[in-house]
Amino acid sequence: MRKSLFASRPCSKLGFAVGVAVVIFLSLQPSIAESISQQKKAVVFIFGTIHPLNPDKTAMRAADGSRLAVEAPLGTGFFVDYRDENSGKRFSYLVTAQHVLRDMDGAFLSSVRIRLNLMSPAGGVEFGFIDNIPVSDAQGNLLWLHGEDQAADVVALPFLPDERKYEYAAISTRTFVKDTALLSESITEGEDVYFIGLMAQYYGAKRNYPLVRHGRLALLTDEDIDTPTGQQKIFIAALESWPGNSGSPVFLLRDGANGRAASDEPMFLGIVVASFQNKVTVPLSGGQPQRQLQAGDTANTGLTCIVPATVVEEILKSPPAQQERATGIQ
């Protein structure tokens, strides 16, 4: 089987081996600073208890023989505002990359918690946690919404924080980049993009400080591309990503510069899910199927995989999502 050319996911655990929401923008043509300031409020940091593995994939043990457990930042999540086509009501979802919710052995965690900034700081601390957000049932089955394509590295959960307690905003599906824009080539390689997410090395001692990183679209294709979770539809950007960035929302920076038309709202392009390593794998003909020629090293090439916004929208329009909304789960 051909090995993936990708690094293990950006949020590789640092190498430790529900309701309604409306986004309110300050003006019809917000400045870049205003847009990013609002988008930061939609981003949360996802934490969970993981179980590190030894190099031989066996569980690490504590001095007393029990399995070692570590509380760690796992990745980034963000909120999406979705208007239901049937009822006309608006619903809020927490979205992230699916692999962010997995333990080191690949099994889904039982639960995670998210860190958000508070509306009213208490005792000098400006962030708080929402704990025990369920991820899987007793049999290990994922409880979050996901697509039929098992390789698609995106999940969503109906979720609305207490807006009186937490600083909160959501990304409206109205701003999602559509396939029509890509087919018409109104969006092409070379476009400026940026993501907002967790920097695992520093995310703030007193409040959440999301990282903002800029780059450019490098490759658009309608073909599926190999990723750590299988072949899926992705964009590739010249945009470096690292552990903790997985699940980060990516936006198009359309400010009217370089001859491009300005947008009156920030455009949501997709989700960070993986980065490329400097590796090339070539199957050797005439030999055993497992024989391959490999070149390169494990260096990060600075290229990042982005699952398109349309994949998120497909999940939110899926029959399971419609059924949850119809039964009033929120």
Q: Which two tokens stand for residue 85?
A: 């086509």
Q: How far apart (Å, rounded) are the C-alpha atoms in residues 110 and 330? A: 21
Q: How far apart (Å, rounded) are the C-alpha atoms in residues 266 and 279? A: 34
Could you tell me how far CA 93 lies from the centroid of its own chain?
13
Q: How far apart (Å, rounded) are the C-alpha atoms in residues 320 and 208? A: 33
Query: What is the distance between the terminal CA atoms of the chain, rounded to a whole angstrom?
Result: 43
Per-residue pLDDT band at 18 (split at 50, 70, 90): very low
Stretch 63-72: mean pLDDT, rounded?
92
Per-residue pLDDT band at 301 (split at 50, 70, 90): low
Could you give the residue ranges of the DSSP H alpha helices within 124-236? 179-183
Convert the pLDDT of each residue in 152-198 to its tens digit: 899 999 999 999 999 999 999 999 998 877 777 788 899 999 999 99
What would you measure as the largest C-alpha separation in the chain, in angstroms? 69
- pLDDT exceeds 50 at position 27: no
Convert the pLDDT of each residue in 83-139 to its tens digit: 998 888 999 999 999 999 999 999 999 999 999 999 987 778 899 999 999 999 999
Q: What is the pLDDT of residue 279?
A: 65
Domains of the chain (ranges; CATH) run 13-326 (2.40.10.120)
The pTM score is: 0.83
- Tracing tokens 């992230």 back to the chain, one arrives at 96
